[in-house]
Amino acid sequence: MLDHVLRTLSSDTLLACLIPTLLFFSSLYFYGIPSLSELRQNVAEIVTGRRRTTFGHFSVERAALSYQQYAKLSRNELATMRASYAKLGRAHKRVGYDLGYTAKLNRLQEATAVNAKVSEGIVQLAQEQFSDRLSYLDWQGAGTHGDLPRVRESLKHFMRDWSEEGREERANIFGPILDVLNEVTAPGRRGMRVLVPGSGLGRLAWEISNAGFAVTANELSFFMNLAFRFLLSEKTTQRVNQHTLQPYASWFSHQRTIDALFRSVNFPDALPRLSRNLELAECDFLTLRPPSPLQAGDLVGYDFVVTLFFIDTSLNIIETLEHIHGLLKPGGSWINLGPLLWTGGGQASLELSLEELLRLADIVGFDIAADADGPRRRRMIECEYTADRAAMMRWLYQAEFWVATKVR
């Protein structure tokens, strides 16, 4: 009897041990040997049912977590501001109160709630559209801290790209680019492809697609991509000016009045949708390949590459220019407008002056006609970037505009 029990037990036990052992060794064979910390993390994930991973700075996971944490992180910041105020002596607190400073802090709390409606809408849509990647996230944020400045920057882009308030700034920088593209006859545009790398919240790409070109809006950062998707989706955005933000509320500096600080901006002033003329490429621009032609017998590559406030984000500007060159058709045009604000701290391999950059364009195989007339004229354009028009401080770029032709 005991013998039978032992035999049954040992064959069942053997089977029970053999299968996981086989699975374990085959996973080692296919995926390699995990480190001790990876093993510990995997076990913790199995036990808690939550995935704790470090994500890329611009990944969909990090962006979604950051939008989700927007309200919490903003409230933490407000708590710090309240604590600083509370340190004042009684007499000064009284003056602060009479000035309305505590009421101002309360208005900041209200503004955060207004903005959080948008950030929560963005997260909800992201959870639906990226359920495969986001359903395992630790939403309590124990492992990953949200990036509040990047969320705020993207929210400001709603103002610049998609509100009446941003119209003047857009006209100043989109205008010269659209003037060059508008030189192509309307029928001619139908067979032409345009790439907009670093397209941000997509307004320029959308404008170009409305003019009749087939446009690829390429953006690496999911802080931008999730926000643009929020506008593109019929689920989250059905009407012009449906949403409201108070985009300036978080920075008390340089404000003339409290009303200016807390002013609301409605958006979007137009309804963007993906179409045959507008597609997204949510990836690193350097991984893009030249597209096949739209018309039989045409050449491979884009007719135009349009870079707006983009090239100076490159860590290797030589690679960027070579890649723009490689993506264009022979004879195609690269339209550029922007400053040279290189990523600091020695992160960029080269931080070129304008003079050096123009020589590099020539080495790579571009011709920038210095004496071109009309819309293609190389020139300096004074412009701003997501500026607060009512503030006491304005950051003015003397940006450079050129149209370069792929000649070699």
Give the shortest CB-56-to-ligand SAM separation in angstroms.
Answer: 12
Q: How many residues are listed for the chain in this entry? A: 408
Handedness of CA 187, 190, 192, 198 (dihedral sign): positive
Measured at CB, which residue is nearest to ligand SAM?
Answer: 198
Nearer to ligand SAM, 319 or 356 (CB): 319
Cα(225)–Cα(151) distance, integer angstroms: 12
Say whether 390 sits in a helix, a strand or coil. coil
Give the shortest CB-313-to-ligand SAM separation in angstroms.
Answer: 4
Give the shortest CB-265-to-ligand SAM separation in angstroms.
Answer: 16
Give the shortest CB-314-to-ligand SAM separation in angstroms.
Answer: 7
Nearer to ligand SAM, 170 or 243 (CB): 170
Give the shortest CB-201-to-ligand SAM separation in angstroms.
Answer: 6
Give the shortest CB-196-to-ligand SAM separation in angstroms.
Answer: 7
* Spatial contact of 340 and 353, defined as CB atoms under 8 Å apart: yes
* Spatial contact of 62 and 222, defined as CB atoms under 8 Å apart: yes
Instruction: Classify residue 116 as exposed, middle or buried by CB count within 10 Å of its CB (0-12, 13-18, 19+).
Output: middle
Give the shortest CB-157-to-ligand SAM separation in angstroms.
Answer: 6
Give the shortest CB-361-to-ligand SAM separation in angstroms.
Answer: 18
Which parts of this chain interact with ligand SAM (CB under 6 A)? Answer: 197-200, 218-221, 224, 284-286, 308-310, 313
Nearer to ligand SAM, 164 or 284 (CB): 284
Phi, psi angle pair for 344, to nearest 5° = -80, -170
Start-end of H helices in 265-384 = 317-327, 354-364
Nearer to ligand SAM, 197 or 247 (CB): 197
Nearest in space to 116 (alpha carbons), one of 84, 146, 81, 82 = 146
Say whether 233 sits in a helix, a strand or coil. coil
Q: CA 200 → CA 156, 188, 211, 217, 282, distances in Å?
A: 11, 27, 19, 9, 11
Q: What is the 8-class DSSP label of residue 386?
A: S
Nearer to ligand SAM, 108 or 195 (CB): 195
Handedness of CA 402, 405, 406, 408 (dihedral sign): negative
Nearest in space to 215 (alpha carbons), one of 267, 277, 128, 145 = 277
Give the shortest CB-339-to-ligand SAM separation in angstroms.
Answer: 9
Cα(377)–Cα(335) distance, integer angstroms: 11
In the chain, the amino acid numbered 73 is L
Nearer to ligand SAM, 13 or 349 (CB): 349
Nearer to ligand SAM, 123 or 308 (CB): 308
Paired with 382 in beta bridges are 398
Nearer to ligand SAM, 110 or 179 (CB): 179
Give the shortest CB-400-to-ligand SAM separation in angstroms.
Answer: 14
Nearer to ligand SAM, 128 or 284 (CB): 284
Q: What count of Cα atoms within 13 Å lies in the side-chain half-sphere of residue 61?
A: 19
Say whether 31 sits in a helix, a strand or coil. helix
Q: Which residue has the tokens 């597209």?
A: 291
* Spatial contact of 300 and 290, defined as CB atoms under 8 Å apart: yes
